[in-house]
Structure 1
Amino acid sequence: MRNICVIGGSRYFGKHLVKLERDAGNQVTVINRGSTGPLPGTTRLVADRDDERQLREALGARTFDVVVDQVCYTPRQAALARRVFAGRTGRYVMTSTMEVYDPATFAVPPPGPAGVPVTEDRLDLTALPPARDAAAPDPATAYAEGKRRAEAVLLSEPEFDTVSVRTAHVLGGGGADFTGRLAHYVERIAAGRPVDVHPDPFPTSFVHHEEIAAFLRWSAAGTFTGPVNAASHGALDVTSLCELIAAATGTRPRYRTVAGAAASPFSFDRGYAMDNGRAARLGFGFTRVADWLPGAVAEVRASAV
């Protein structure tokens, strides 16, 4: 039995991760702000992860085999976690995002051929320019830059073995998917309404919500360190995604060509789909998007009834 701490873990694939660890017989402690009750068979600690004193008091003398941080969004949060969990754990897994690669959120985009799936070494976090005091120009840039800098804090001079899981766009779970992005497509296509797309959209990466939970659990149990891309096989551009959804709904998709941010959520005018080769070489076997997407569409339709 292992002693696992999950920061966050109260909804979507974080909640599924907690269930996986609990059902495997592990001792699971979940830290959150108390907005949701504890899952049976787990321990909940109520604390604001941004308040160092409160977090230390909630933890007391507890130690863990591994910490999985589901809600680390800024370098300040990462630095605080590194201080608090130093000496309390030997392994730390941060849930990051594929948005760290998004060339639209870099002052100077990382080098690499356009449209070629990105590998972990494409992003050199040691080469980040000094942080600016000014706020990011938009939420997407703030999110991506916050994740990049949080990774940089945890991966540089680590107090424990550290993994940053760069997660693809997560789909599935029906009503549990609070983002509503897959539902956006399913509803529009089923109703015959047009989907707004870029003139020449690039592929992007996806992963099933249960698969990313399993991957985080696998990462927590591993011995490797550093960044690792987590994506199902088979990157899709927005029209390929719509064709698969249409096949599951029995309705032909309609498209409307637009420019810039007016496009639908998974229509991209730049490429940064991820290469999952490192995870495969380490021993994790991903599924194919085309195999699980019909079931995810069915979950969306069932949750809307």
Structure 2
Amino acid sequence: MDILVIGGNRYFGKRLIANLRDSGHRVTVLNRGSSPAAFPGDAGIERLTADRDDESALESVLAGRSFDVVVDQVCYTPRQAVVARRVFAGRTRRYVMTSTVEVYGYEDSATPVTEDAVDLASVAVDTELPWDEPEFRDAHYGEGKRQAEAVFAADGSPFAWTSVRVAHVLGGADDFTGRLDHYVRRIGAGEPIAVPAVNHPATYVYVEEIAAFLAWAATADFTGPVNANSHGPLTTADLCAEIGRQVGGGRVAFREVEVGEVSPFSFARSYGMDNGRAERLGYAFGHTGEWLARAVAETVGARNAEAR
């Protein structure tokens, strides 16, 4: 297939690109070119440079081009989704948007949520909000993704569409988020971990697994949202126990916080997804127990390398 990936220069995006290329697909990557390319010039990846927020620039760089599939790694706002619907109408038959568990920001369920917990037809879309302001966009990350999904799901879509709602991603020495490293650093130093008074488990996915799932979703034919997460929810205590085992330092200490900032991956509400739809469609996810030690080892290794 001819596959266009928008974004994808880092973390699981670059693994997705390598996966698609190694599977024999013709891969083109479109991004702003503001950071070093994930692959050298001879890696068999075509590159296009444009700001995805600039509709005229997109139209120009894509003139005369079409793709079997577009995988959009960096659609964060409904405004970006509106532009994408216009620009890629007639240029692709399938559009895969990388979304997030954060779209379930208003749902709090004791059981893992299914895709229909969000009725996209009832989501209010407001493209006039200050989505171009980084602070606003970051503060409304889940809502931006939620509204972007609603734009793609609206009637009259010019292409088949799916959103992959990605669980919290762990693993990789190149994890730029620093969230797991937060625990590695504090536990290694014997510092307490700040958690909510009631701390709920959440669903996770290994960095290599989500890249493989996105590659699979790109070449499938289902539509609509799909949850992407490994089996086996994890608690903050689960993460800390494995980190403590690998870095030592004695017992992990938790500090309950009633009001104020808590550590990443500690949640005052339920944050679990049900991956049953993906499995019914034919994808078999692994279990967190199969990869958690590896994910932690990669983060610990990266920190040790940085310290040397």
Question: How high is the TM-score relative to the length of structure 2?
Answer: 0.91
- How many corresponding residue pairs? 295
Distance 1:91 1:126 in 2: 20
Match for residue 175 of structure 2 among 152, 174, 177: 177
2:97 is the counterpart of 1:99: no
Per-residue Cα deviation, 1:101-130 (whole angstroms, up to 9, x for no partner): 022xxxxxx4xx632111000111111245
Within 5 Å, give how 1:237-276 maps onto structure 2.
Answer: 237-251=235-249, 252-276=251-275
Displacement after TM superposition at 1:134 (Å): 5.6
Q: Give the whole-Å Cα distance in 2 for the aligned partners of 1:38 and 1:208.
A: 20
- Match for residue 56 of structure 1 among 56, 59, 84: 59
CA RMSD of aligned residues (A): 1.8
1:144 to 122, 142, 145: 142
**TM-score of the superposition, structure 1-length normalised?**
0.92
Separation of aligned partners in 2, 1:122 and 1:226: 13
CA contact (8 A) 1:244 1:290 kept: no
User: Measured at CA, do residues 93 and 265 of structure 1 come closer, stay the same or move farther in structure 2, by a change above 3 Å?
Assistant: same
Partner of 2:197: 199
| TM-aligned CA deviation for residue 37 of structure 1 | 2.9
Larger CA deviation: 191-200 vs 125-134: 125-134
The code of the aligned residue for 1:154 comes to F
1:124 paired residue number: 119
Displacement after TM superposition at 1:173 (Å): 0.7
Whether the aligned pair in 2 keeps the contact of 1:38 and 1:44 (CA below 8 Å) is no
- Identical columns (%): 54
| Offset of residue 142 of structure 1 | 1.1
Unpaired runs of 5+ residues, structure 1, are 104-109
Question: Match of 1:80?
Answer: 83
Q: Which moved more, 1:248-257 or 1:207-216?
A: 248-257
Q: Secondary structure at the match of 1:264?
A: coil
CA displacement at 1:255 relative to structure 2: 0.7
- Deviation by residue 1:275-294 (Cα, 9 ceiling, x = unmatched): 11111111111111122111
Runs of at least 5 residues in structure 2 that lack an aligned partner in the other structure: none
* Residue 30 of structure 1 pairs with residue 29 of structure 2: yes
Deviation at 1:272, TM superposition (A): 2.6
1:41 matched to which residue of 2? 44
Q: Distance in 1 between matches of 2:129 and 2:8?
A: 31
Shift of 1:86: 0.7
